[in-house]
Amino acid sequence: MIKFDCDYLEGAHPRILDALVRTNFEQTPGYAVDDYCKEARELIKKECKAENADVHFIVGGTGTNATVIAASLKPYQGVVCAVSGHINVHESGAIEATGHKVIGLPSDDGKLEADILEEYCRKYWADSTYEHMVQPGMLYISQPTENGTLYKAEELKRLREICDNYSMLLYVDGARMGYGLMSEGNDVTLPLLSELADVFYIGGTKVGALFGEALVIVNDSLKKDFRYMQKRHCGMFAKGRLLGLQFREMFIDGLYYEMGAHGIKSAYRVRDAFRKAGFPFLYESSTNQQFPVLPDTVLDILSEKFSWDYWCRVDEEHSCVRFCTSWATKEENIVALEEALSEFSAKEE
Amino acid sequence: MIKFDCDYLEGAHPRILDALVRTNFEQTPGYAVDDYCKEARELIKKECKAENADVHFIVGGTGTNATVIAASLKPYQGVVCAVSGHINVHESGAIEATGHKVIGLPSDDGKLEADILEEYCRKYWADSTYEHMVQPGMLYISQPTENGTLYKAEELKRLREICDNYSMLLYVDGARMGYGLMSEGNDVTLPLLSELADVFYIGGTKVGALFGEALVIVNDSLKKDFRYMQKRHCGMFAKGRLLGLQFREMFIDGLYYEMGAHGIKSAYRVRDAFRKAGFPFLYESSTNQQFPVLPDTVLDILSEKFSWDYWCRVDEEHSCVRFCTSWATKEENIVALEEALSEFSAKEE
Amino acid sequence: MIKFDCDYLEGAHPRILDALVRTNFEQTPGYAVDDYCKEARELIKKECKAENADVHFIVGGTGTNATVIAASLKPYQGVVCAVSGHINVHESGAIEATGHKVIGLPSDDGKLEADILEEYCRKYWADSTYEHMVQPGMLYISQPTENGTLYKAEELKRLREICDNYSMLLYVDGARMGYGLMSEGNDVTLPLLSELADVFYIGGTKVGALFGEALVIVNDSLKKDFRYMQKRHCGMFAKGRLLGLQFREMFIDGLYYEMGAHGIKSAYRVRDAFRKAGFPFLYESSTNQQFPVLPDTVLDILSEKFSWDYWCRVDEEHSCVRFCTSWATKEENIVALEEALSEFSAKEE
Amino acid sequence: MIKFDCDYLEGAHPRILDALVRTNFEQTPGYAVDDYCKEARELIKKECKAENADVHFIVGGTGTNATVIAASLKPYQGVVCAVSGHINVHESGAIEATGHKVIGLPSDDGKLEADILEEYCRKYWADSTYEHMVQPGMLYISQPTENGTLYKAEELKRLREICDNYSMLLYVDGARMGYGLMSEGNDVTLPLLSELADVFYIGGTKVGALFGEALVIVNDSLKKDFRYMQKRHCGMFAKGRLLGLQFREMFIDGLYYEMGAHGIKSAYRVRDAFRKAGFPFLYESSTNQQFPVLPDTVLDILSEKFSWDYWCRVDEEHSCVRFCTSWATKEENIVALEEALSEFSAKEE
């Protein structure tokens, strides 16, 4: 079975494993105060052109999201996001577990439109009973989104303006940041994110690390005592140097971008293969998640050789499925998929 | 200024104040274990034909909702409701403060349609990643709803079935229960609620008490240690007998229904006055909240003599406003409104 | 049965009931923005010589404590108190329910000694792993304490200094403030509390109100958006004017102090009667709670006519019990107790 | 510098790294439903003679503790432990963050004496106001304790009895389980723990894994929906197979015990070296943490070559320090310490 189910099917880039093996018996202090962590932090800050940022390493996106949100908001504030936002849908209530409401606004493709956000904020503050309603304190967006779409620089700037106008923080979930950065037409760089966001994270788990995310806190007011919050939310990793080693490896000479580019290149071959076979897509994704809409009969046949993530039913005879590529996607698997799809295409003609 | 803003503008029914004055210097133990509370509990259980129910007295609807939900759900469960549900909109995140997600489903008039609920549940349990999504553990409805509408007995039975099929508890918020019970065409009685709901409350604050709600726990599995939860959620009232005294007075000879009937009768005169003047309504309310849609010019004139709750803008020249009546609404105020509106009607013709 | 069990056995001072009756049919807006609340706020600020303070009214001490603590602390901070503090023992975990640890330090009589607090803080900040330990963010004391004892002005000043040195807020729980203020030898006034504390409350429930506590927020940094917190913690009372009316009545001409003085005068007669009969006390209380240590045989006899709160076993034949007086204690009941004890005394001789 | 600071200074046992490298490009499903996890679960259940247990893998002890406690307790229940328990001291309030009070009872050496626990429970349930106090719902112990001490089988049985008598769950934190199991005189085996505890965990992080703990849920009532709780508390590891691979390696042929034995053997040489030099110990530890009490002058000299964890001041001239050994402790480092200490001993004579 060739799997396109998700982007965390394999282990880690071999260079990362090498680094772990090579340093295995060094003795370093725990909890991410070792030299590897320090070096990784410096590399990331340089990459972001954010010399004054604080960088923390956390295991897992859900933990990162919950810790950041709990650390940033007042108890009576909530976090606004697209209704499809990971925090609203796929974290088993980890945000609400910290006492905060997730306020999901309508979205067709995973992106939150500025107008929708602005209208929400305007109405909220115009309501005379606003003290009885959760106060919007933060905007959460994901870049790329859960649907593979990307915000453009202009769109982010507009969202930032609205956040400023309505006293909201801007937090960017970058679980798949590496793929977004290397996507065609992308104009959102790490330095730009450091300019626009108050806090964001660069995902490792889905882009070639064994595990780990690098949180970049730009806004000074969010920096104090963050390590307490990490510990309180069970995200203070004992052998912290494992996180430092990985991010050091990924950012010392561009490995992170290389891995992102591989995932993107593979994704476009997958996308083109589906396109060529004449299948439409549910979302216009330019990243490593592709959402073709296929007849169930086609899925039946493909399922003999391939697996994927079932997304949703489109109509009685069609489904949308998610095909993910990653830093680890093998050429031969892409070729196999291309062949399988080309036969389809032939049959359909 | 004649106020129709809400149903908690005045104090309490004079008989209730009398009872407080009469018993003022009696010495009774605290925390609702006194004889007045016991008697009130028995009266309510009798009224509900629910001899095995547990009855607790809590101050305020938000506190009652938060305590019940926190007491009933597992940490990873959420509570489903109409998007307009009080817990979803107007409790400043009191439910999320207990760690639970509020899952708001679409609704036009405050009622949650059975089909919408069923489809939501079906999809939830069919999703292979359901462990990553908050589990729907309870259905919350309000009777009457925040929009003045009422569920019929048949509708409640259908919702109960869906709850049974998907292992959800059914909780009914009866902040304005007294008005619902006395509404024209209503077929939902306290005994029926005791049959269908796992837990519900009979509101006092908005129906003639100084304060206080009577929570009726029918489902045995929710009874154990509820008083701990009350204390933990700051809802264990020290001078408990004040709650007992009020509910005893309201249920000893039908005063609660009488007050509900007065509110309803007044509401219908308000409704008819708006109708007669030719104004439409945003919701088909048969209870003590009426939602006429008026030209802003009309509102300007009315505002010299009357006040109300501004609900929402309908179009550039019209707004929906809420007029509330209650157990305390004075005949003379209704007449004044009728007169004011009759003049309008005249002008419009 | 003559009850000395607690200080919330009766209703409220007749003047308070009168005020409720007199204003019963006035129409006032909800949620404590009415004129009675405004007037009560001004009276309290004047009494405290704290013109810039914010004053809020909340129902119940537990709710007040939980809301203040949740509003004031960062998520990773805890609240330090004497091990016997109400928040540590008798609130069913209401503080922990908001996510904060209660850090109980040793105390013999309900008061927290400055040296013990200072040593705790010193050690905490000297520990290299402090990020792994809950940060002390607030000191909670009660005045009077749960054991009837009182802090002197000098002691409070010393605690304030320590709070300043270790960046902790100072919060004073004044559930029985009225009795403390009128106690012999007391030198802690409301203006002094306003100088020393960041936030404190003046209890109504136990000092003659039907219910309600007046929270005084002195520290500017704690003022913003407090009403959201009140709503979130289920402490936004719908008919707010009932709270305003009561506190207005209590502070318009010194009724609060009068009621406190009555409770204290009664307490001293109770104390003297036990002393005269030769019984020792567990704590040196100068307020309305007295803790005599009595032979169980004596308790058996007294129990025919009187009731009280059982405090703890002292040895196999003696127990400590709590006798409370209040604003409502009747002369005749005191006399009855004096007589009963005088007979004892006679027997023992 | 030779470090004895803690037992998580190095990476992982080379066999574990080998397993990660060997399987790196296999494609396995996420979230611990892969075959490596399944196999690891079976191995652990067999080792525990607990065929019906549920086994889950979580990253980190704090996360495991918080998830288990939040999953097991009712909201109004607390967890009882020795005052020195990890959950009470070193988790930055992670337990309170889930809404539960940690009730620390006195302990001299990290173990909770049965009599102290029993007396606490007896008093709690005898108090007429128990509904106002957090209900003890679970006993938490660590085996070995934070002070290196161990419970004997008889002691555990007695604690179990008390838990049964007072309806408490028994949870055992086994962060250093591997060292306890291989300790001289230990009679507490994994099968015995499976008999006595409701739930416990076998620590990997401190005993040779890169990271990860294996939670064993024995009590059926705690099994349902645990994976939701894992996700909600940010402990659902994406590449779950990494956890499975590690525990499979550790339990397939006794590697876990082997590593534990190495740590213990090293610890005894450290212990003996201090003993021989005539230094006393703060606790009678038979496990991998040793707590010698040394003159500060000696520490000064040792600090040129060695590092450790400073524990506490004993008197003006002496300190207690913690020396940890582990699965990774090198013979040569032990020898160096022995030599250093032998010189001391010589000097002292």
Q: Which one, of B3, B108, B110, lies nearest residue B324 by Cα?
A: B3
- Could you say which of C218, C253, C288 is where a domain stops? C253
> Which of D2, D25, D66 has the CB atom closest to A10's CB atom?
D25
The whole-angstrom distance between C328's CA and the closest CA on chain B is 8
Q: Could you tell me which residues are beta bridge partners of residue D321?
A: D310
- Given D253, D268, D284, the domain boundary residue is D253
Q: Specify whether A179 is located in the same domain as A231.
A: yes
Nearest C-alpha of chain A: how many angstroms from C210?
26
Nearest CA in chain C to A71: C75
pLDDT at position D344 is 82
- Gap from B236 CA to chain C (nearest CA, Å): 8
Low-confidence ranges of chain D (pLDDT < 70): 345-349
Same domain for D60 and D208, yes or no, is yes
**pLDDT tens over chain B, length 349 residues:** 999 999 999 999 999 999 999 999 999 999 999 999 999 999 999 999 999 999 999 999 999 999 999 999 999 999 999 999 999 999 999 999 999 999 999 999 999 999 999 999 999 999 999 999 999 999 999 999 999 999 999 999 999 999 999 999 999 999 999 999 999 999 999 999 999 999 999 999 999 999 999 999 999 999 999 999 999 999 999 999 999 999 999 999 999 999 999 999 999 999 999 999 999 999 999 999 999 999 999 999 999 999 999 999 999 999 999 999 999 999 999 999 999 999 886 555 4
pLDDT (tens digit, 0 to 9) for every residue of chain C, 349 residues total?
A: 999 999 999 999 999 999 999 999 999 999 999 999 999 999 999 999 999 999 999 999 999 999 999 999 999 999 999 999 999 999 999 999 999 999 999 999 999 999 999 999 999 999 999 999 999 999 999 999 999 999 999 999 999 999 999 999 999 999 999 999 999 999 999 999 999 999 999 999 999 999 999 999 999 999 999 999 999 999 999 999 999 999 999 999 999 999 999 999 999 999 999 999 999 999 999 999 999 999 999 999 999 999 999 999 999 999 999 999 999 999 999 999 999 999 886 555 4
Q: What is the largest CA-CA distance in chain B?
A: 64
> Within C277-306, where are the H helices?
296-302
Same domain, C77 and C220: yes
Residue A164 has pLDDT above 90, yes or no: yes
Backbone φ and ψ for A142, nearest 5 degrees, come out as -115, 140
Q: How far is CA A296 from CA A309, A321, B192, D186, in A?
A: 14, 10, 46, 60
Asked whether the beta carbons of residue D205 and residue A98 sit closer than 8 angstroms, the reply is no
- Nearest Cβ partner of C225 from A76, A232, A236? A76
- In whole angstroms, what separates CA A342 from the centre of its chain? 31
Please state the pTM of the whole predicted model: 0.97
CA distance D26 to chain C (A): 37
Residue D165: count other Cβ atoms within 10 Å of its Cβ.
Answer: 12
| Residue-number span of the structural domain to which C154 is assigned | 14-253
C-alpha distance from A312 to closest chain B C-alpha (Å)? 9
Q: What is the pLDDT of residue B349?
A: 44
Q: Please state, in angstroms and as integers, the Cα–Cα distance from residue B92 to each residue in A6, A75, C237, D209, following that order.
A: 37, 10, 14, 45
Residue C99 CA, chain-centre distance (Å), reads: 23
Question: To probe the interface with D, which of C92, C133, C310, C320 has the most D CB atoms within 10 Å?
Answer: C92
| In a shared domain, residues B245 and B286 | no
Q: In terms of domains, do D72 and D162 share one?
A: yes
First-to-final CA distance of chain B: 27
Q: Is D93–C101 a contact, with Cβ atoms under 8 angstroms apart?
A: yes
**C116 and C47 share one domain:** yes
Choose among C1, C93, C211: nearest Cβ to B238.
C211
Of B63, B235, B238, the CB nearest to C8: B238
Bridge partners of residue A17, in order along the sequence = none
Assess contact for D7 and D326: CB atoms under 8 A. Answer: yes
Give the domain-ending residue among C238, C253, C268: C253
Number of domains composing chain D: 2
Using an 8 Å CB-CB cutoff, list chain B residues near A129: 90
Per-residue pLDDT tens digits for D22-37: 999 999 999 999 999 9
Q: What is the Cα–Cα distance from A153 to A135, expressed in whole angstroms?
A: 27
The rounded distance, in Å, linking the Cα atoms of A174 and A189 is: 12
First to last CA, chain D: 27
Same domain? For C29 and C82 the reply is yes
Name chain A contacts of D206, Cβ cutoff 8 Å: 238
pLDDT at A349: 44
Residues across chain C: 349
> What is the distance between the alpha carbons of residues B63 and B219, in angstroms, rounded to a whole number?
20
- Residues B103 and B180 reside in one and the same domain: yes
* Chain B positions in Cβ-Cβ contact with residue D98 (cut-off 8 Å): 75, 99
pLDDT at residue number B318: 97
pLDDT tens digits, one per residue of A98-128: 999 999 999 999 999 999 999 999 999 999 9
Residues B93 and B240 in one domain: yes
Give the long-range contacts of residues D280-285, CB within 8 A, separation 24 or more.
D282/D147, D282/D311, D282/D312, D282/D314, D282/D320, D283/D109, D283/D110, D283/D147, D283/D148, D283/D149, D284/D109, D284/D149, D285/D144, D285/D147, D285/D148, D285/D149
| Distance, CA of C193 to CA of C191 (rounded, Å) | 5
Q: Please report residues of C whose CB lies closer than 8 A to that of B23.
A: 11
- The pLDDT, as a whole number, for residue B346 is 53
The two structure tokens encoding residue B218: 């029918």
Q: HSE of B174 in the Cβ direction (CA atoms, 13 Å)?
A: 28
List chain B residues with CB under 8 Å of C212.
none
The answer to whether C93 contacts D76, with C-beta atoms less than 8 Å apart, is yes
Domain harbouring A321, CATH code = 3.90.1150.10
User: Cis bond leading into C144, ω under 30°?
Assistant: yes
For residue D134, list chain C residues with Cβ-Cβ distance below 8 A. 92-93, 96
Q: Give the residues across from B320 on adjacent strands.
A: B293, B312
Please enumerate in sequence order all residues whose Cβ is within 8 A of that of D174, keeping only pairs 6 or more positions apart, or say none.
D142, D143, D180, D193, D200, D201, D202, D203, D213
Nearest Cβ partner of C231 from A70, A98, A132? A132
Name the closest residue on chain C to residue D129, using Cα atoms: C90
The SS3 assignment for C220 reads helix
Distance CA(A291)–CA(A312), nearest Å, equals 10
d(CA C80, CA C117): 8
Question: Are A85 and A213 contained in the same domain?
Answer: yes
Task: Check whether residue A307 and residue A247 sit in a common domain.
Answer: no
Angstrom CA distances, A220 to A47, A49, A199, C142, C220, stand at 19, 16, 10, 36, 21
Buried b (16+ CB within 10 A) or exposed e, B107-131: bebbbbbbeebbebbeebeeeeeeb
Contact list in B for residue D131 (CB cut-off 8 A) is 225, 227-228, 231
From the list A26, A62, A234, which residue is nearest D231 (CB)?
A62
A100 and A43 part of one domain: yes
- CATH of residue D242's domain is 3.40.640.10
